[in-house]
Amino acid sequence: MSADPLNDAAVRAIACLDLTSLNDDDTDAAIEALCARAVTPAGPVAAVCVYAPFVPLCRRLLDGSGVRVCTVVNFPHGREDATAVAAETRAAVGDGADEIDVVLPYQAWLTGRRRSRCWRRPARPPATAP
């Protein structure tokens, strides 16, 4: 803790943020800019969240920074094919994703089909606190 409570609050808040870019027109340059913003003078954000094709780029750019790489699977449609979602998840983890956000089959839920194969397993073992 410093003598400046506002600065201390900013440091704590930044460490809880995820920077996200899930635009249809994302480019390597846009993702590089996102990653550059992820490490601030007040410390790093918690994660950057990008489409799966950008995970290897983020992994390379953020290696050693303390910023986790996150991606989304089953996005944006929330389909019900659990096998496809599992394959998409394995591929993202293999490419270096630390976190996976899964869009659940919300269309099924909205139409009254409330039973779906859902699971929760971490992509990687949880990080230990320093």
Residue 56: Cβ within 10 Å count: 14
**Cβ burial, residue 42 (10 Å; 0-12/13-18/19+):** middle
**Would you give per-residue pLDDT tens digits along the chain (130 residues)?**
578 888 888 889 999 999 999 999 999 999 999 999 999 998 999 999 999 999 999 999 999 999 999 999 999 888 878 888 889 999 999 999 999 998 888 887 788 876 655 544 555 555 555 5
Residue 119 pLDDT: 46
Residue 78 pLDDT: 86
Residue 110 pLDDT: 81
Q: Cα separation of 32 and 63, whole Å?
A: 13
Taking alpha carbons only, the member of 77, 69, 68 closest to residue 103 is 77
Architecture of the 5-110 domain = Alpha-Beta Barrel (3.20)
Taking alpha carbons only, the member of 93, 87, 86 closest to residue 71 is 93
Residue 97 pLDDT: 97
Task: Answer yes or no: are the C-beta atoms of 20 and 49 closer than 8 Å.
Answer: yes
H/E element, 71 = strand 68-73
